[in-house]
Amino acid sequence: MMMQSIRQRGFTLIKVMLLSSVASVVVFAAFKDTLVQERLSGNYQKDLNARLLAEKGVIERGQALKAAITNNANLTLEQAVQQIGAGLGTGELDGTSYDAQLSVNGDEVSIASLGQRYDDQAHARMVSYFKYTPAERSSVFQNAVTGCKGVNLAGSGLVDSYDSTVGSYEDTRTSNGDVNTVIGDADVVLNGHSPIMGDVKASGILYLKGSSPVVGTVQSNTGIDISAGSGVRVDGDVLTQGFVKHNGGQITGILRANGDVSMKWGAEILNQNQAELDIMYGGTGSFQSSHVQDGLHYSADRFNVNPEVEAVRVYDPSSPDYDPNDPDKECDPLALPLNMPSVIDSNNNYADFTVGAQTDYVFTPSEGRYIRGGSGTWSSSPADIYLFQHLTQNHGQSNTSEYVFGMKNMKLTSDGTITIEGGDVIWLVDGDLKMTGHTSITIKAGSSLAIFVTGKVDFGASGVVLTEQEGLTDSGFPSLSIFSSYSGQNGITMRGASSMYAVIYAPVTSIAMRGSGQFYGTIRGATIDATGGSGVHFDEALKNFNLGNGGVITPAKLEFMGWRFESGDEYQTPDEEED
């Protein structure tokens, strides 16, 4: 019995040992499996981190590129890529990094980003594709005359257009000398003998009082008043959301008015393009017995139908600081008075600057110097220019620096002369600019002068501004441009008898044209009052003159097209991602 018991205990011990061995094998197998799983999870985490870092590089470079093309509409795609650089970066965790590189092929942008964790232990390369659509722009300078709050042309000067890129005014004269107002209820008054070769658009009432015709379409939001007279008064169509008073003369096109229409004896609608109806009006009509079409009187129901004439736009949609509660700002799509403090520091130490007593002075982009008269050398005060962001300003760090010239008041008098040569010169005038006596400013061919002024500008009767080459320089600037933030009356006055080429932008002050000299270029002010014989000849080349972000209709766009990982994943489009 004892031996049997011993055998049973021995067999039991063997079974326990076998079970323990099996359990140990199971435990070790489970431990090994757990270790493998842990390593797989670690590797997956590293791969995931690498992918996330690759995505981070794409996102950061894409956002930087989008910001560059949004903040400066003047940049080309290549310039924007050059501005932000290749985009090397370091991840947020230790042992991580990403390297994002941009490349451009036409309007296509690719961003290749390599994300790494612990150097080569885990890496992923992501390539994303974008399509670039450039900004749609329209130059601020589209018309011969823009008087935001009103235009009064009472002289005898002709308003028309030409193209300096094609030839001289005499060789390229065209009929695109448009006149318009911007702010609501701003009137246009055409008096005297001022023929307009272009369209006239008034946000208020358009008064045709002179004897010369408008060769183009006339349009108004409030009404059109044609004074008594004979001959052609409007060589085009008459369109208004309001009334029409046609007191005499001929309209060669058609008449469309949402409001009332009255026509006196001698008033005619010729309808030379043979539209179905001479006239349509939505209000009441007052006509003479001779006012008929095909034997049907204008008072008939066929004509008494509201034509739903579209409104003249009373704001600039590109204005960066549009405020519906303050429409006066809408004369200023460049937001000049708002930005002028960033151009001319109100705490500057500029000094008055005078050229006179038969003194000759020369300005170049890098220096100003006396060549006759005067004493010593007057130095410039460098500053940044917000409208000319792509113009290098090195602040005197090298001999090739380009300066801007700051002065408190600028006066040219007593047979003094100024010459601009060697490139693009910029004046900052924190005060008034005045030319008196027999003085002159000569802008050499290939050079330009841009003037930013906070005070009044007065070109005297004997002052001469001569541009040897009209239009835009090779660098894209008008030969002469004046930007005024002055907000009082008569901020700019032109009295001279000599011709002048310029871009004048004075959105919050009135502009008075009192001389008999011809004006070439474009003019924009709060109000325009021309009482002399000075004609305005719009240079259509200025439609290509863009400043800063002014005139942007549709911003540039960077559209995501798809992505792929170089580890073998298939290319995915945004639509496939959603599916």
Q: Where are the beta strands (DSSP E) in 198-254?
A: 200-202, 205-208, 218-220, 223-226, 232-234, 238-240, 243-246, 249-251
pLDDT band of residue 573 (cuts 50, 70, 90) is: very low
Strand pairing category for 500-513 and 492-494: parallel
**Is the per-residue pLDDT at 58 higher than 60?**
yes
Residues 6+ apart with CB under 8 A from 22: none
Q: Which of 5-9, 10-14, 38-42, 344-348 has the highest mean pLDDT?
A: 344-348
Instruction: Spell out the residues 6+ positions from residue 90 whose beta carbon is closer than 8 angstroms to its own.
Output: 96, 97, 98
Report pLDDT for 18.
67
**SS3 for 254?**
coil
pLDDT at 212: 82
pLDDT at position 576: 46
From CA 32, how far away is CA 233, in angstroms rounded?
Answer: 100
Q: What is the pTM for the complete model shown?
A: 0.76
Position 87, amino acid: G
* Four-point Cα dihedral 566, 569, 572, 576, nearest 10: -160
Give the model confidence (pLDDT) of 393-407 as tens digits.
Answer: 443 344 456 778 889
Q: How far apart are CA 519 and CA 455, in angstroms?
A: 22
Has residue 102 got a pLDDT over 50?
Answer: yes
Mean pLDDT of 271-286: 96
Q: Which residue has the higher pLDDT, 15 or 65?
A: 65
Q: Rounding to the nearest 10 degrees, give the CA dihedral for residues 242, 243, 248, 250.
A: 40
Any idea which of 315-319, 336-340, 361-365, 477-481 has the lowest mean pLDDT?
315-319
Give CA separation, 309 vs 242, 244, 301, in Å.
Answer: 9, 13, 18
With cut-offs at 50, 70 and 90, classify the pLDDT of residue 565: confident
Average of per-residue pLDDT across 74-95: 67
Mean pLDDT over the full length of the chain: 82
Q: What H or E segment, with its residue span, contains residue 24?
A: helix 2-71
Q: How confident is the model at residue 553 (pLDDT cuts 50, 70, 90)?
A: low
> Over pLDDT 90: what percentage of the chain?
44
Q: Which residue has the higher pLDDT, 241 or 61?
A: 241
User: Could you identify the residue written with the tokens 């410039």?
Assistant: 380
